[in-house]
Chain A
């Protein structure tokens, strides 16, 4: 697969596809950490579990709505610039996407309900439970969808083969048959939890919390590495072509190397309590895993046989979309900087 693509072609469709990965990257780093926060909310134990939950909620609070728009941006870009791919994926992955949507709805609304339900009783705890369980489920399904696409299990079929295909073959097998998508799903979950724990070491206001989430970050990093290895092994057994894409070629190896360096840096920084560094390293690690996946797919959008260029919308649509993205970024970037300045810096707290 990727072995076939020795150099990157910078055409309009590639620019849009790149932007989509960038936007997915932002979603993973920001929205992903929100999901991870929900996971740690579920695992909050011990005497100070309410303090843990509060720290998590405060970190998510002001910005989850904005974080979650990144996913919408990906979807909108997909359906306006690659409408065929959108229609195809939404058809074949109907079932997992529906489950993911239910997760997104429950999580977003339960979080808000819990925040604004100021009565401290069992009703509020029930919102909290829904929030955290949905936070666990949604990333897994998101990963399953991406994994299914990456492994070439969701190909565009010919008209003839559509006539003979059974319900199971068409709507269930792509994501349920092979363990690979599920491995990617678990990987996504642990990655999000790891991101959240790493960020929370910085957000924590007291030492106990910092130490707690430091340990959690270390633990999830280890699980993450094990899962990554397992995923590679599954790819090798199940899907030699995918394995080749993941492991061959200079770019793929460079990506692996950078990811490994980031992981090592994160472990070192956590051990030496350099939390700012640990946060950056965690973000870098997650980003490189994502871009590694993108590179493995390149130049295919729907492996094994549809390229980004083949699936792209007419030129004019791409041009206008990119133009709007440029203008929009000029408005959004300062807004985001402002948002994070207001909430993610310690100054300004009364």
Chain B
């Protein structure tokens, strides 16, 4: 592999790793706050226990998000110095705003995690709300920066020099609104489904703490289902935005190989030479209709672009299909759940947490949100290739002159694998195994949440 390929792989790995924790950092605070709010309104200790347990998981994941995010901000320079040299002044604004959002988030997360006994319950809840809001904002800001790479505006290039910089226009670029909405929904959908999956698993397997897991499942579904339901609409908005600004990416992700009225292609493997699909199901006119409301409308295909401006077609198409598949299943599950609870209200059927078939479906759907998330980012980033800034700068021109990037790639790969193993091990050890199944309910004081002055977290000989 070349240095460029190692740089790209390292960036992709770092982002794919970070995004998991970033999304959890947006989604979990919402769950925590809802649980705590329900405790304040119902005084049911179950909900307090839930809030504390979720807070603990969040703390572990947040720390990994923070360190992996720190790595990313340096990596932008370590791997793509030429890109940053030209783009830094243009898109610095969302990054600076993001910095403030992190500050707010970190400060209030500290207060939330360690302040259970130090501030009033209301102040504590308010701290949680601030964490949730600033988490969502920091995600939105960084997505603005990414959207700018897809729809660069707010500057001019004269003789290879960036001039007429307008950071505000760059931040509010045309691709930002749809990406922000889609990304924020994705955060709630992915976190909600994953958490729901875990608790549904416990309920299905049978647990002495049904009430606890029911409460958890309910809250997680309330966060995940609505987000997953509207996500396809937001995705459609994103697709129109891509069609307008990055027709090449659109053609690649939809597998639309030849210019003309476009079918909606499901599955299939694109052949780069002949520009034909093997093994695809096509809905004639489907894509033209989705984009323009007219099944005869002409859509630019891959053949409209010179070979050196095409992204790797198979990866982009496959990733897109995976996202759509996950999104469709999740939306269908949301519809089912909504219908069931509507019927339940009118006195038919059983409550969702008692419906084994529904629980099974939720368990199986647990990882889908995160899979869709990674696939979606692959579409966005790989689909933009060979450009790092669409139509302006090629990725090959942005990479660092530092040779031997295989070393840094190996180092970070090892580091991330180690971190991932450690996180899974810890969550398993702490949250699942020594979890509720061994703690009598209501005895929240047994929780090993460290508070200053406590010995709960420390080894004694």
Mark A residues whose CB is within 8 Å of B. Answer: 50, 53-54, 57-58, 61-63, 65-66, 68-69, 71-73, 75-77, 79-81, 83-84, 86-91, 94, 97-98, 101-102, 104-106, 108-109, 111-121, 124-125, 128, 167, 171, 205, 313-314, 316-317, 320-321, 324-325, 328, 331-332, 335-336, 338-339, 342-343, 348-350
Q: A109 near B458 (CB under 8 angstroms)?
A: no
Contacts of A314 in B (CB 8 A): 89, 162-163, 165
24 inter-chain pairs at a CB distance below 8 angstroms, sorted by A residue, are A50-B458, A54-B458, A61-B450, A62-B114, A63-B110, A65-B66, A69-B106, A76-B92, A79-B76, A79-B95, A80-B91, A90-B77, A105-B68, A113-B426, A119-B434, A167-B403, A316-B167, A317-B89, A317-B90, A324-B100, A335-B107, A339-B110, A343-B118, A348-B119
Contacts of A71 in B (CB 8 A): 70
Residue of A nearest to B403 (CB): A167
Q: A112 near B411 (CB under 8 angstroms)?
A: no
Contacts of A90 in B (CB 8 A): 74, 76-78, 81, 84, 400
Q: B458 near A72 (CB under 8 angstroms)?
A: no
**Could you tell me the distance in whole angstroms from the C-beta of A65 to the nearest C-beta in chain B?**
4
Contacts of B76 in A (CB 8 A): 79, 90
Q: B422 near A113 (CB under 8 angstroms)?
A: yes
Contacts of B460 in A (CB 8 A): 50, 120
Q: A343 near B452 (CB under 8 angstroms)?
A: yes
Q: Which of B56, B92, B400, B434 contacts A91 (CB 8 A)?
A: B400
Q: B67 near A105 (CB under 8 angstroms)?
A: yes
Q: Which of A101, A112, A121 contacts B60 (CB 8 A)?
A: A112
Residue of A nearest to B164 (CB): A314
With A and B bound together, what is the CA distance between A331 and B130 in angstroms?
12
Residue of B nearest to A349 (CB): B453
Residue of A nearest to B400 (CB): A91
A350-B118 CB under 8 A given contacts A54-B455, A317-B92: yes
With A and B bound together, what is the CA distance between A185 and B168 in angstroms?
39
Interface of A is mostly: helix
**Which 9 A-B pairs rank lowest in CB-CB distance, beginning with the nearest?**
A80-B92, A90-B77, A83-B88, A313-B89, A118-B448, A112-B63, A87-B81, A87-B85, A65-B106
Of the candidates A53, A117, A118, A128, the one having the most CB atoms from chain B within 10 angstroms of its own CB is A118
**Could you tell me the distance in whole angstroms from the C-beta of A274 to the nearest C-beta in chain B?**
24
Q: Which of A65, A79, A115, A331 contacts B100 (CB 8 A)?
A: A331
With A and B bound together, what is the CA distance between A81 and B99 in angstroms?
14
With A and B bound together, what is the CA distance between A283 and B411 in angstroms?
36
Q: A83 near B111 (CB under 8 angstroms)?
A: no
Q: A101 near B70 (CB under 8 angstroms)?
A: yes
Contacts of A324 in B (CB 8 A): 93, 96-97, 100
Q: A91 near B459 (CB under 8 angstroms)?
A: no
With A and B bound together, what is the CA distance between A88 and B85 in angstroms?
8
With A and B bound together, what is the CA distance between A71 and B71 in angstroms?
11
Residue B166 CB within 8 A of the other chain: yes
A69-B74 CB under 8 A given contacts A58-B453, A62-B110: no
A97-B92 CB under 8 A given contacts A105-B68, A316-B166, A335-B108: no
Residue B117 CB within 8 A of the other chain: yes
Residue of B nearest to A162 (CB): B401
Contacts of B166 in A (CB 8 A): 316
A101-B118 CB under 8 A given contacts A54-B458, A65-B106, A320-B168: no
A109-B64 CB under 8 A given contacts A86-B77, A94-B400, A116-B430: yes
With A and B bound together, what is the CA distance between A313 and B84 in angstroms?
12
Q: A98 near B78 (CB under 8 angstroms)?
A: yes
With A and B bound together, what is the CA distance between A123 and B440 in angstroms?
26
Residue of B nearest to A124 (CB): B459
Q: A86-B77, A98-B408, A316-B166 are in contact. List 5 more A-B contacts (CB 8 A).
A: A54-B455, A104-B70, A108-B70, A339-B110, A343-B114
Contacts of B82 in A (CB 8 A): 87
Q: B74 near A57 (CB under 8 angstroms)?
A: no
Q: A316 near B165 (CB under 8 angstroms)?
A: yes
In the complex, how many residue pairs between chain A and chain B have their CB atoms under 8 Å apart?
A: 245
Q: Which of A91, A118, A171, A336 contacts B81 (CB 8 A)?
A: A91
Contacts of A97 in B (CB 8 A): 74, 78
**Could you tell me the distance in whole angstroms from the C-beta of A223 to the nearest C-beta in chain B?**
29
Q: B63 near A79 (CB under 8 angstroms)?
A: no
Q: B457 near A118 (CB under 8 angstroms)?
A: yes
Write out, one digit per residue, whether chain B residues 422-461 have a CB within 8 A of any chain A CB (1) or not (0). 1000100110001000000000000010101101111111
Q: Which of B60, B73, B107, B402 contacts A76 (CB 8 A)?
A: B73
Contacts of A119 in B (CB 8 A): 429, 434
Q: B96 near A116 (CB under 8 angstroms)?
A: no
A109-B89 CB under 8 A given contacts A171-B402, A343-B114: no
Q: B411 near A102 (CB under 8 angstroms)?
A: yes
Residue B113 CB within 8 A of the other chain: yes
Residue of B nearest to A121 (CB): B459
With A and B bound together, what is the CA distance between A91 and B91 in angstroms?
20
With A and B bound together, what is the CA distance between A343 and B113 in angstroms?
12
With A and B bound together, what is the CA distance between A336 and B269 in angstroms?
55
Chain B positions 110-133 with a Cβ under 8 Å from a chain A Cβ: 110-111, 113-115, 117-119
**Could you tell me the distance in whole angstroms from the C-beta of B138 to the nearest C-beta in chain A?**
11
With A and B bound together, what is the CA distance between A207 and B15 in angstroms?
48
Q: A62 near B452 (CB under 8 angstroms)?
A: yes
With A and B bound together, what is the CA distance between A77 and B303 in angstroms?
43
Q: A65 near B63 (CB under 8 angstroms)?
A: yes
Residue of B nearest to A111 (CB): B63
Q: B453 near A79 (CB under 8 angstroms)?
A: no
With A and B bound together, what is the CA distance between A31 and B63 in angstroms?
15
Residue B419 CB within 8 A of the other chain: yes
With A and B bound together, what is the CA distance between A332 and B110 in angstroms?
14
Q: Which of B66, B109, B452 contacts A108 (CB 8 A)?
A: B66
With A and B bound together, what is the CA distance between A121 and B461 in angstroms?
9
A349-B74 CB under 8 A given contacts A76-B96, A102-B415: no
Chain B positions 386-405 with a Cβ under 8 Å from a chain A Cβ: 400-403
Residue of B nearest to A325 (CB): B96
With A and B bound together, what is the CA distance between A68 and B459 in angstroms?
26
**Could you tell me the distance in whole angstroms from the C-beta of B20 to the nearest C-beta in chain A?**
14
With A and B bound together, what is the CA distance between A58 and B207 in angstroms?
35
With A and B bound together, what is the CA distance between A321 and B95 in angstroms?
10
Contacts of B434 in A (CB 8 A): 118-119
With A and B bound together, what is the CA distance between A91 and B402 in angstroms?
7
Q: Which of A54, A61, A80, A98 contacts B96 (CB 8 A)?
A: A80
**Could you tell me the distance in whole angstroms from the C-beta of A111 to the nearest C-beta in chain B?**
8
Contacts of A331 in B (CB 8 A): 100, 104
**Could you tell me the distance in whole angstroms from the C-beta of A169 to the nearest C-beta in chain B?**
13
Q: B109 near A65 (CB under 8 angstroms)?
A: yes
Residue B339 CB within 8 A of the other chain: no
